[in-house]
Structure formats: C-alpha cells, structure tokens
Amino acid sequence: MKRVLFIFCLCLLSITSCTNPPEVINQTFAPEQEDLYAQCSGLKGIGEFVIGETSYKQALNSKYYRDSYVFNNFYNGHWGVHSHDLSDWIEKRAPIIKQITTPIDDVKIGQIKLTTFDLAFYNNKLAAIYFKDESGELHEHYIKKYGEGRGTYYSYHQDNEPCNNRDRLIVIDTRKENRVWENEKVDLTYSHDYHFEMGPNISEKQRINSYYDNSWYLITSKTLYPKFLEELNKQKAAYDKHRQSEDKESLNQF
C-alpha cells in the first residue's frame, strides 16, 4: 500500500511541477569512403537530368521547362544575385555558366512535387541541381536507397505535458540534420533545420518569429560545380571592381 501511495505521489508531483526532462538524440553517421561510394554507385541525378551529361538545351526542351518560358537567368534562383545589373553582367560576360530557375508551376516528377528546382550549368553540362521537397517523402527514399550517408542528426524535444498549471506549459522542438551521399563523380547534400518553441514567457509574435523549417537538397558534379562557383564568384568580384571604378570616375568630375 505504501509503495502504491509513493508512486501516486510521484505522478502527482510530475503533473503539478511540470518538470519532464527533455528527450535528446545526437547521432553521427561516418561510413567508410569505399562503403559509401558502393552504396551510392547509382547516384547520378534526377530522371532525365543527369549530372555531368545533360546539356543546357536538353534541359530547356524537357517537358518541365519547355512551356514555362524559362531561360538563362542569374537574377532569381538559388544562384541568383538579386541585381538586374549584376545579372546582366554575368549573363553577357560568362556564357560558360548558366542557370535555369524553377518554373512558375512547381515541378512534379512522378508523384513528387518539388517547390524549387534550379539547374546550374558549366560549359554546357549540368553541374548542379538545387531542389526542395516539402512532403518529406524523398528523405526516407534516399536513406532506403543509399543508406544513412555521412553526417549528423540532432533532436531536442521538451514537452512538460501533463501539466495542470497551463501558465508553465513549455514545448521546445528542435531538429538539425545534415547528410551527404556520394560516389566518385556526384554528391548529394541534404540539410534540414527546424525549430518550434512555446512557453509562458513567449508571446505569440515571438513564437512566430522563432519558428522556422527549412530543408533542401543539392546534387553536384565534383568536377563541374567547383568551376561553376569559381566563375560565378569571379564575375561578382569583377563587377564590384567595375562599379568602384565607375563611382571613382564619377566623383572625379566634381
């Protein structure tokens, strides 16, 4: 009887004190390079978009882009510069690199809807694909197909329910995940960053501002993509130097 009473008191204390400990998961995935390459030997792109092979023209003529009036554009997209002058500069002075941005309508490959689907090209070959799948279906698919990959997973969850004192109710949910699947020619990076927090000292505005959920994938060519980035950054630097020179010339007239 005393034992039953003691357990009841512990439960009551938990309910009234609202002090449930957080649940924490911290995992690291570190397969041997040879094993990772073997597991990911089939990694090469998405459908007809083959990294290192698909040309700029072939992509434009695909069913996903040909009716969407897309073209080489460095203003928007993952590699966009958000400046019309700089975008024009890159497009005119660096024809060796190109970008096709996501069509107005989401790209749907089979039953998977991609809300973002940007392509990068170097020397007329597909160098990278940046895409987002908000359904979460691809995450489990890639793990089943290519294994855990290399990377980390961290999860922190605190929820002090049951809690009779609603003024002390706390919910904190954080997840951070980064994985890389790769073979000799291609790598696939996945990133997910999620946070939600609710508590007695957090206003609705603070809760909304503190909430975020961002996930993305990036498939790249190990040889072409570094060259694409190098040329893109080279043109950005050249444009900045050009602008500084123009500004100096303008000031010298005063």
pLDDT per residue as tens digits for the range 84-116: 999 999 999 999 999 999 887 778 888 888 999
Q: Which of 183, 177, 173 lies closest to 217 in space, CA to CA?
A: 177
Count, residues in the chain:
254
Mean per-residue pLDDT for 209-218? 87
Model confidence at 14: pLDDT above 60: no
pLDDT-based confidence at residue 238 (cuts at 50, 70, 90):
very high
Strand, helix or coil at 80? coil
* pLDDT single digits (tens) 120-151: 999 999 999 999 998 888 999 999 999 999 99
Q: Which of 6-15, 40-49, 116-125, 212-221 has the lowest mean pLDDT?
A: 6-15
Q: What pLDDT is stored for residue 166 in this prediction?
A: 59
Q: How many CB atoms lie within 10 A of CB 224?
A: 21
Q: What pLDDT is stored for residue 10 in this prediction?
A: 41
Tell me the sheet residues that pair with 137. Answer: none
What's the rounded Cα separation, in Å, for the pair 90 and 225? Answer: 16
Model confidence at 71: pLDDT above 90: no
* pLDDT single digits (tens) 174-209: 999 999 999 999 999 999 999 988 766 655 655 555
Q: What pLDDT is stored for residue 4 in this prediction?
A: 43
Q: What pLDDT is stored for residue 108 in this prediction?
A: 85
Contacts 24+ apart (CB under 8 A), 130-137: 130/77, 130/78, 130/79, 130/216, 130/217, 130/218, 131/46, 131/107, 131/216, 131/217, 131/218, 131/219, 132/215, 132/216, 132/217, 133/215, 133/217, 134/215, 137/112
Model confidence at 2: pLDDT above 70: no
Dihedral (Cα; 227, 232, 236, 242), 10-degree rounding: 80
pLDDT-based confidence at residue 242 (cuts at 50, 70, 90):
confident
Query: For residue 50, with 0-12 CB atoms within 10 Å meaning exposed, 13-18 middle and 19 or more buried, which class applies?
Result: middle
Helices (H) and strands (E) in the chain, counts: 7, 12
Model confidence at 69: pLDDT above 80: no
Angle at Cα 45 formed by Cα 43 and Cα 47, nearest 5°?
115
Q: What are phi and psi of 195, to 5 degrees?
A: -155, 135
* pLDDT single digits (tens) 15-57: 445 677 889 999 999 999 999 999 999 999 999 999 999 999 9
